[in-house]
């Protein structure tokens, strides 16, 4: 009998992932984002109060802000930090107060609690095996049938990382228009919610595709494969190389120079993996589509609060809490493995890339109005699909919204190069 390991119950993170940039750069980027958000209508007082779970700013002391910085930037309890690091944090507190206009009293208020991220308890909602049959087994069966028998995808394990992906590499007729290959990253709960969109993109057997599978957030009761930034990027690179190799083998006269880069597609949590690819392997990307992105202005407290701390009030929030965020694998990911400082999308990452951002007006997991204004000001070359009245993931239930995304991708299949602006649409 296989023993199921439950690292989700551990009190502390298994390991701390260091920022990919120097700490001073991360801190400067944090302050810059807060200042810019203030210019776009997100007050600095709202930012500070949000990280302290809605506490009145006058109650927050400098010691409280130092504690937040320790958890936010170092992913550590301040009691475990050495003297030089604590002194550096004190300097950060002074600089933050000066630049953001905070007049915080000295000392520490124990009644004011900040978000502790990876050091807060993992909240798991008990669920029966029957719920896993409905939430995991049936969707995976449906997905397998569609992917294998309808879309012609094959499931493979990456020998280097142990992660799984679905892929196909249809033969290409010489001289024919070639659509961009698809590199897709799903959000919580696996592939099932994306079947309508994937059907529109893959029903015609002309587009190569690699769909990266993240079992840790797909209700699989499998805690053995815990993907990391390095393993996800490596798996994606290997999968796309496999597509090119298969196409070269099966398509007589195929010229590899016709490969104009893949279209990078992701939703919600999947947009974090997109950001990793854009930083680590930008040369293989030809276009990018971010649906309900959580990687823009991640310095704002909305995403962390919405996933980890918000008490559910609406029907949709209760559904997410009971069905998704309280599931052991998903709770473990966000409470022990979500390194926010390595998931932030910068404007430089998509400056020369045809990019589409799909924003839902009532997405309560992001600061959507501010993000909308940020894209219009800082990412003017990008396109925006603005969905009035919709919330996070609501696009899944709308064929019209899925068609909008598929149409944008089809138009940008014809771009001559990854940096081409000739396909810009509004």
Query: What is the tens place of the pLDDT at every residue in 95-132?
Result: 999 999 999 999 999 999 999 988 888 888 877 778 77
Summarize the confidence of residues 244-250 as an average pLDDT: 84
Summarize the confidence of residues 190-210 as an average pLDDT: 94
Q: Is the pLDDT of residue 225 over 80?
A: no
Summarize the confidence of residues 190-211 as an average pLDDT: 94
Structural domain boundaries enclosing 54:
19-119
Whether residues 63 and 173 share a domain: the answer is no
Give dist(CA 361, CA 297) in Å, integer. 16
Give dist(CA 71, CA 80) in Å, integer. 11
pLDDT on residue 426: 43
Summarize the confidence of residues 275-296 as an average pLDDT: 97
Q: Is the pLDDT of residue 8 over 50?
A: no
Summarize the confidence of residues 393-407 as an average pLDDT: 96
Whether residues 169 and 245 share a domain: the answer is yes
Report the range of poorest mean pLDDT among 26-35, 182-191, 218-227, 240-249: 218-227
34 pLDDT tier (thresholds 50, 70, 90): very high
Whether residues 103 and 139 share a domain: the answer is no
Give dist(CA 333, CA 324) in Å, integer. 12
pLDDT on residue 5: 47
Cβ neighbourhood burial of 422 (10 Å; 0-12, 13-18, 19+)? exposed
199 pLDDT tier (thresholds 50, 70, 90): very high
pLDDT on residue 256: 61
pTM confidence score: 0.92
Indicate whether 3 belongs to any domain: no
Whether residues 92 and 163 share a domain: the answer is no
Whether residues 103 and 140 share a domain: the answer is no
**Number of C-beta neighbours around residue 34 at 10 A:** 20
Whether residues 143 and 78 share a domain: the answer is no
- Where does a domain end: 72, 90, 119? 119
Indicate whether 9 belongs to any domain: no
- Where does a domain end: 63, 85, 119? 119
Q: Is the pLDDT of residue 419 over 50?
A: no
pLDDT on residue 255: 62
pLDDT on residue 1: 33
Structure tokens at 63: 């010691």
Whether residues 397 and 348 share a domain: the answer is yes
Indicate whether 337 belongs to any domain: no
Whether residues 288 and 151 share a domain: the answer is yes
Higher pLDDT, 307 or 359: 359
pLDDT in tens, 351-398: 889 999 999 999 989 999 999 999 999 999 999 999 999 999 999 999
CB of 200 within 8 A of CB of 399? no
Indicate whether 419 belongs to any domain: no
Whether residues 369 and 288 share a domain: the answer is yes
pLDDT on residue 176: 64
Whether residues 98 and 140 share a domain: the answer is no
pLDDT on residue 3: 42
Whether residues 47 and 142 share a domain: the answer is no
pLDDT on residue 14: 63
Indicate whether 30 belongs to any domain: yes
Indicate whether 397 belongs to any domain: yes
pLDDT in tens, 332-350: 888 888 998 999 999 999 9
**Number of C-beta neighbours around residue 106 at 10 A:** 8
Q: Is the pLDDT of residue 6 over 50?
A: no
Look at the chain and report how many structural domains it folds into: 2
Angle between helices 83-100 and 62-73 (to 10 degrees): 110
Whether residues 246 and 179 share a domain: the answer is yes
Higher pLDDT, 309 or 251: 309
Indicate whether 338 belongs to any domain: no
- Where does a domain end: 119, 140, 159? 119
Indicate whether 8 belongs to any domain: no
226 pLDDT tier (thresholds 50, 70, 90): confident
Q: What is the CATH number of the domain that holds 397?
A: 3.40.50.1820
């Amino acid at each position: 009998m296989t023993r199921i390991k439950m690292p989700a119950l551990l009190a502390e993170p298994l390991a701390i992932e260091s920022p990919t940039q120097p700490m001073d750069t991360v801190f400067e980027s944090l302050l810059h984002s807060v200042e810019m958000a203030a210019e776009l209508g997100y007050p600095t007082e709202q930012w500070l109060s949000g990280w302290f779970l809605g506490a009145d700013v006058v109650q927050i002391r400098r010691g409280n802000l130092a504690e937040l910085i320790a958890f936010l930037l170092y992913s550590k309890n301040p009691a475990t930090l050495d003297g030089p690091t604590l002194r550096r944090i004190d300097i950060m507190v002074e600089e933050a107060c000066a630049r953001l206009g905070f007049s915080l009293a000295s000392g520490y208020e124990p009644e004011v609690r900040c978000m502790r991220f990876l050091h807060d308890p993992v909240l798991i909602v008990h669920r029966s095996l029957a719920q896993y049959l409905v939430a995991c087994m049936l969707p995976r069966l449906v997905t397998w049938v569609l992917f294998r028998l309808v879309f012609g995808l094959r499931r493979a394990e990456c020998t280097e990382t142990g992660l799984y992906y679905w892929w196909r590499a249809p033969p290409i007729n010489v001289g024919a228009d070639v659509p961009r290959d698809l590199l897709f990253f799903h959000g919580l709960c696996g592939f099932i919610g994306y079947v309508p969109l994937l059907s529109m993109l893959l029903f015609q057997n002309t587009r190569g595709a690699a769909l990266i599978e993240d079992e840790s957030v797909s209700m699989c009761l499998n805690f053995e494969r815990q993907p990391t930034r390095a393993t996800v990027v490596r798996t994606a690179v290997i999968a796309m190389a496999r597509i090119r190799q298969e196409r070269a083998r099966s398509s007589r006269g195929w010229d590899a120079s016709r490969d104009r880069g893949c279209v990078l597609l992701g939703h919600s949590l999947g947009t974090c993996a997109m950001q990793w690819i854009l930083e680590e392997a930008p040369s293989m990307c030809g276009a990018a589509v971010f649906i309900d992105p959580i990687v823009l202005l991640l310095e704002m407290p909305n995403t962390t609060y919405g996933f980890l701390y918000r008490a559910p009030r609406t029907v949709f929030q209760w559904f997410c809490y009971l069905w998704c965020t309280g599931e052991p694998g998903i709770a473990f990911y966000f409470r022990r493995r979500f390194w926010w400082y390595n998931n932030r999308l910068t404007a430089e990452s998509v400056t020369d890339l045809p990019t589409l951002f799909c924003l839902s007006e009532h997405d309560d997991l992001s600061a959507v109005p501010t993000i909308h204004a940020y894209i219009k000001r800082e990412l003017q070359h990008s396109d925006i699909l603005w969905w009035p009245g919709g919330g996070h993931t609501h696009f899944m239930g709308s064929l019209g919204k899925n068609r909008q995304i598929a149409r944008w991708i089809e138009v940008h299949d014809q771009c001559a190069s990854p940096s081409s602006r000739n396909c810009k649409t509004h």
